[in-house]
Structure 1
Amino acid sequence: MTGIAALQPHLDGGGTSLCRAWAITRSDGAVLGFTDHDLPLTFGGITFSAAAGLSTSRLMQGTGLAVDNAEAMGALSDAAIRADDIEAGRYDGAELRAWLVNWAAPEERVLQFRGHLGELRRAGGAFTAELRGLTEALNRPQGRIYQAPCGAVLGDAACGVDLSAPGYSAEAALLGTGDARVLHLPALPGFSPGWFARGALTVLDGAAAGLQGVIKRDRSGDGREIALWAPLGAAPAAGDRVRVSAGCDKRFGTCRYKFGNALNFRGFPDIPGTDWLAAVPASRGNTGGGSRR
């Protein structure tokens, strides 16, 4: 049993053996654990290192809908949080959980904070990370906008397209890279030129494993040239495997014919365009309202 009910008898006993533990789940799925105890802890399938020096300060939490505010600080380390992983974006939006734990009996613990990493700053061999609680989502705009393009993200719950279905993605080993944004793949037969434009490229192994970029251009020739809008945080190399997923330009015709998903289109394709705002009544010719014959 975990939670405050499990920890309360220990707190009521007077003398306590308490420490804090943090678990970070990165965007590539890697999980790292840290504790301010002087020995490592293990619970929930995670080993919490005692040597990383991670700590939190200015933790503010409320019972209402206000956004929780916290900050984490720690030392950069080759064995834990590395500068190149921060630069590569592996910690962008990473999930963070923080517990108060009885280190003598780790099953007696309570989850005190759950949220995501926000802005990260690093200087002098250390880093500072903003922590954003679950109520941060309440700051996001809600509702739909009346517009011709689709407002859903390809593959999300509103869209409903399964990008893992045959014909929507492909995996291949890189043949090479042109620059930081241009990657060369085999021909990928069965996928027409431009099929992956506006889609996603995910690196599956190598130094850039887990990183993802948005595809700007998809060209076919002797092979396949994929250009990204922005370079990846770490450079992939020839032989690294990548996955490319189909892209969508948010138009109704694309939704209907490319994905067969017209019923889930989340735009308003027949809404009048801006040219109608400038339309004025006719000033010449037959202006009686009848048929022009």
Structure 2
Amino acid sequence: MITASAALNSLLLTSDQLVVVDCYDITLQDGTVIRWTSADAPVAVDIAGVRTLFSVGPLITRNNIKLVIGVQVDSLTLTLTADDAVTIGSVPLIKAAVSGRLDGATVRLYRAYAADWTSGWVGVLTRFAGTVADVSGGRSQLEIKVNNHLQLLNTQQPVRSYQAGCTWTLYDTSCAASKHTSIGTVVSVAQRWEFQTSIDSGATNLGTSMLPISLGVVLQGGQLKFTSGKNSGFTYPVKTWSGSTATLLRPAGLEIAVGDSFQVTWGCNKTIQVCDFVYANKANYGGFPFIPAAETAVPV
């Protein structure tokens, strides 16, 4: 339900003309908060009793919002036009977005109201809230699709199923495995998604005996975060890790250079062997490794 303050209710009921602007609150997965407005000047409004400032950012347009009764998942499509002067941290907005910085971000759309441009902002209404589902961009324009939080209801029921592979998410409370990491440097670069690496074995936490499990098996499916170079601070999922060759699931947003350092948080292939030998976590394994394999019945 959309609620408004007493002052805003009074303004909406008594004024024939209003000034209305959009305000966007974007919270990235790392906790960074970005606040932009569609107005030509910064907008300071009270949200939940807290004075909040929305700055002038990129040119933002959006589709219309519809309100329906039920559990239909609505979406908001934002089109952002910006040059390299608009940044997230020190990285231009477009490059940061296509490299995954906005993935999974929470977006809230507020509408701020005032009697005119010379008077103060009376209040805001929350018009949409959701999570970034898709990002695509070109040279100077970015399109972001945001699904509202009803998409969280689209969950498999029952949540757990009988299968050989583990059903837990690595490092969550059900898994309870200790986080393992490796650090290394880039030795040579083939593409922005593929490069040769050198892993610092002295700084690699091997946990218990790795036995038949190679380091590449657990680095595959992990998360690689650059700690130096142009991509410093950005994290990319690892698609494969063969020998010393790392292949990312998507290209890095900026150029990778020889000597760039990184940290890899290990992944898991959901088998009981990795759970036991690598993480010493067999007691918390979330799968059923001895469940019979599917068989085909053939009439005779």
- TM-score normalised by L of structure 1: 0.76
2:292 is equivalent to residue 272 of structure 1:
yes
Q: Give the match's secondary structure for 1:184.
A: strand
Offset at 1:210? 1.7
1:78 partner letter: D
AA matched with 1:169: T
Are the aligned partners of 1:215 and 1:226 in contact in 2 as well (CA < 8 Å)? Answer: no
- Of the two, which has the highest radius of gyration? 1
**TM superposition outliers: structure 1 runs of 4+ over 6 Å:** none
**What SS does structure 1 have at the residue aligned with 2:273?**
helix
Which amino acid in the other structure matches residue 41 of structure 1? V
Q: 1:170 aligned to 2:182?
A: yes
Equivalent residue number for residue 159 of structure 1: 175
Aligned length: 268
Structure 1 equivalent of residue 10 of structure 2? 9
**Cα shift readout 1:34-59 (whole Å, capped 9, x = no counterpart):** 21222112466864333522122221
Alignment partners' CA distance in 1, 2:135 and 2:260: 28
Matched, 1:263 2:283: yes
Alignment of 1:1-293 (within 5 A): 4-5=4-5, 7-14=8-15, 16-27=18-29, 29-42=31-44, 47-80=53-86, 82-102=93-113, 104-105=119-120, 108-122=123-137, 125-142=140-157, 143-163=159-179, 168-172=180-184, 174-180=185-191, 181-189=194-202, 190-191=204-205, 193-194=214-215, 195-208=218-231, 209-214=233-238, 216-217=240-241, 219=243, 225-234=244-253, 235-274=255-294, 277=296
Deviations 1:150-180 (A, max 9, x none): 12221134322242xxxx11345x2433323
Tell me the secondary structure at the aligned position of residue 178 of structure 1: strand
Maintained 8 Å contact 1:67/1:132 = yes
Q: CA deviation at 1:229?
A: 4.5
Q: Is the contact between residue 60 and residue 69 of structure 1 (CA under 8 Å) also seen in structure 2?
A: no
1:233 is displaced (CA, Å) by 2.6
Q: Unaligned stretches of 5+ in structure 1?
A: 220-224, 281-293
Structure 2: segments with no counterpart, 5+ residues: 88-92, 207-213
CA RMSD of aligned residues (A): 3.2
Residues 59 and 71 in structure 1, CA contact (< 8 A), matched pair in contact too: no
C-alpha displacement of 1:98? 0.6
> Do the aligned residues in 2 keep the contact of 1:213 with 1:232 (CA within 8 Å)?
no
Contact 2:221 2:237 in 1 (8 A): no
Q: TM-score, normalised by structure 2?
A: 0.74
Cα distance change, pair 229–25 in 1 and its aligned pair in 2 (3 A)? same
Evaluate the alpha carbon distance shift between residue 237 and residue 229 of structure 1 in structure 2; reply closer, same or farther with a 3 A threshold: closer
Q: Sort the Cα spacing of 1:5 and 1:69 in 2 relative to 1 into closer, same or farther, 3 A.
A: same
